[in-house]
Amino acid sequence: MQRIAHLIGGEPASSSSARVGPVFNPATGEQTAELELASKSTVDSAITKAATAFGEWSARTPINRARVLFRYKELLSANMDELAVLVSREHGKTIDDAKGSITRGIEIVEFACGIPQLLKGEFSSNVGTGVDSYNLRQPLGVCAGITPFNFPAMVPLWMFPVALACGNTFVLKPSEKTPSCPLRMVELAHEAGVPKDVLQVVNGDKEAVDTLLKDDRVKAVSFVGSTPIAEYIYHTGSAHNKRVQALGGAKNHMIVMPDADVSQVTDALIGSAFGSAGERCMAISVAVCVGDDTADSVRDSVAKAASNLNVGPYTDSDSDFGPLSNKAHMDKVLSYIDKGVEEGANLVADGRNLKLQGYENGYFVGPCVFDNVKPDMTIYKEEIFGPVLGIVRQDSYADALKLVDEHELGNGASLFTNDGGVSRHFIEQSKIGMVGINVPIPVPVAYHSFGGWKRSLFGDHHMHGPEGIRFYTKLKTATVAWPGGKKTGPEFSIPTLS
């Protein structure tokens, strides 16, 4: 059986005595590899190399770093097919979905290639007689990224290309469930010209994470995952004087107004609720329908469309979505569905007990649709992270917006309507970090920034885009005067603009 090691100094770092964890193919339920889990000393070795490499890498000109990233972008595109298979084999998502996520990651690399422009500061001439002032953004040092199982290509690419472009070095700790694609992407980065000590990969569990959070040489930590872990990452990292951006869970709503096109709403809900088996932090899991007529139409249309979806392995090009990523998560999703029935919601599309010939041991759950979901139900309050859509009925737009705003998670939300006034109100007044109008998954493009509000984000900075540059740099302001002016003697009051 394949044994997957770390990548430290550009070389596989392995130990026969290391703890290991299993890696599975979710479509078959078979173990495909065992992954070495890093000890504290292994992580320390990676941090040491990254810290030593920081001086030379940060001293390179921004255009030099950009040229490396341009080569990296080309290698990612050239190896798209290989990377997609690595994603699909360990996560379960379809090849097309995997390629889409890789493409979104490549767009972040394209953004980071503009680093000479992005690092330009501000300059003010003659702030005082013969005195100029300007600022510059400088790298932090060693940064770390802790990434989730559901996007093993895209989320790491949200992090390390921006960090490297800014002049930092980086230690990546990918999910232990989907390690192969991140490792391959870092190998390609080295091939593109990123020095091998500048970018490291350590695989592991809490021991590796805690080492990164507590080591004084790590200056910043980026994280994407569940809300409880995001909160832990934020408080532990901050307690050790690190800059932290920790993105947590989501319960994304779509408000459907009576004037919305039901066929358009149906397509949007089917793709956003069930794509990637619902294992997306931007999945729409709640449809908030304004009025019973709206809810009835949406329920009937979505339930019919869901019944026609093809659930299957990534090797089947006709699959609309694949299995959940692991058995423990499948069991958790099934328990949520059972709980929804128990608490009184109407299960109008039931994806339980889905068995595929030849894949009986796979982690498949078909599309599930609940109607008459109430705000006090578990399936409404908690993130399910599976192919489960709940329909909530509200009497008015005001009631619908209040419902959205009162949820503790504020990652993303959409509104489907033809009313410009309602749309403008929703954009300005909703307490959500990312919003869309007639767009089912309002994910910002690479040159804008990604992040939610409330308990969906811990920290002050969103990811990639302008916020990513701010997160991976620190601001320095210079005030400069050159000899040659009239000597006035010492001044004992604070300088002013007069």
Query: How is residue 125 written in tokens?
Result: 């001439």
3-state secondary structure of 248: coil
3-state secondary structure of 123: strand
d(C-alpha 126, C-alpha 9), whole Å: 48
Which residues share a beta bridge with 255?
Answer: 288, 415
Query: In this structure, are residues 142 and 171 in contact, taking their beta carbons and an 8 Å threshold?
Result: yes
Amino acid at residue number 189 = A
d(C-alpha 243, C-alpha 245), whole Å: 7
DSSP string for 25-54: ETTTTEEEEEEEEPPHHHHHHHHHHHHHHH
3-state secondary structure of 186: helix
Q: Is 281 a catalytic residue?
A: yes
DSSP string for 452-479: -EETTEESS--BSHHHHHHHTEEEEEEE
Which residue spans within 202-301 are E strands per DSSP? Answer: 218-224, 243-247, 252-256, 284-290
d(C-alpha 339, C-alpha 377), whole Å: 9
Among 113, 166, 181, 281, the one annotated catalytic: 281
Handedness of CA 272, 274, 280, 286 (dihedral sign): positive
Residue 444 has what DSSP assignment? P
Handedness of CA 283, 288, 294, 300 (dihedral sign): positive
3-state secondary structure of 293: helix
Report the chain's terminal Cα–Cα distance, integer Å: 75
- Spatial CA neighbour of 201 closest among 14, 381, 353: 14
Residue 426 has what DSSP assignment? H
Find the helix or strand (DSSP H, E) in which 276 lies. none
Q: Give the catalytic positions in this structure.
A: 281
